[in-house]
Copies of this chain bind each other. A is one copy, B any other.
Amino acid sequence: MLPSENKYLTNVSFDTVIFGFTGEELKILVLEYQNTGLFALPGGYIRRDEDLLDAAKKGVMKRTGLKTIHLEQFHTFGKLNRSNPEPSKEIAKGLGYKLPDDHWILDRFITVGYYSLIDYNQVRPTPNKFSDSINWYSINNLPPLMMDHENIVDKALEAIRTDAGKKPIGTNLLPEKFTMKELRKVYEAILNKKLRRTTFQRKILSMDILTRHEKLYTGAANKAPYLYSFNKEKIEKL
């Protein structure tokens, strides 16, 4: 069943850039549609009876299986030429539907972009009913995305980079406890550059937002690193 018009707002949608961190690389979730070779960001429409943010959250929850997520809105895309009915037609065709030319889904859309940082290992990627797969792709090696979705990813990356300077960014990308090296790798992946080990450590510790826990014995023949967690209370006070 296709979504019906009276249930959703017309001409507005949302798209989400869902980031995960493998320990080395930043990846995002990308949908692939059946029999079309089309790749797209997870997105959706806004029900008439729900907040825009809630609609986007619900979408991310469904694609990831996570129950608590945090979204950041970064930009709204409203270029005339960003809308293109062809991909939607193809997708419908691949599914065996035939969309009437005046269907609201083929109309022009202004889309609100959100990004989400989540714990890669907690995610159970779940395709929607119109797509046959959803997969992690390294941000340095994305498949060609439909419409302006590559542009949306670029803007999301830009936003996350500037946000990284303001608020602690690893909170959602890492498991509860992590080593200093893991945290640094997150920042390196996001900022796309190497950071000085000692300076990074000194600076993040001086922010006084981490709690130090026991050491982590990995079996490697060297000094074991401490585990840290974010001190949510202190972060609140920033």
- Residues of chain A whose beta carbon lies under 8 Å from any beta carbon of chain B: 9-12, 46, 48-53, 73, 75-80, 108, 110, 112, 162, 166
Contact of A11 among B9, B51, B112, B166 (CB under 8 A): B9
Residue of B nearest to A81 (CB): B51
Contact of A76 among B49, B50, B112 (CB under 8 A): B112
A80 to B55, CA, bound (A): 11
Taking CB atoms, residues of chain B closer than 8 Å to A9 are 10-11, 108, 110
Cβ of A75 and Cβ of B73 under 8 Å apart?
A: yes
Cβ of B51 and Cβ of A80 under 8 Å apart?
A: yes
Taking CB atoms, residues of chain B closer than 8 Å to A166 are 162
Taking CB atoms, residues of chain B closer than 8 Å to A10 are 9-11
Min C-beta distance of A105 to chain B, whole Å: 14
A73 to B53, CA, bound (A): 18
* Known contacts A11-B11, A11-B12; is-contact A79 B108 (Cβ 8 Å): no
Cβ of A110 and Cβ of B52 under 8 Å apart?
A: yes
A78 to B80, CA, bound (A): 21
Residue of B nearest to A75 (CB): B73
Most buried by B among A12, A48, A49, A78: A78
A79 to B49, CA, bound (A): 10
A80 to B48, CA, bound (A): 8
Cβ of B48 and Cβ of A108 under 8 Å apart?
A: yes
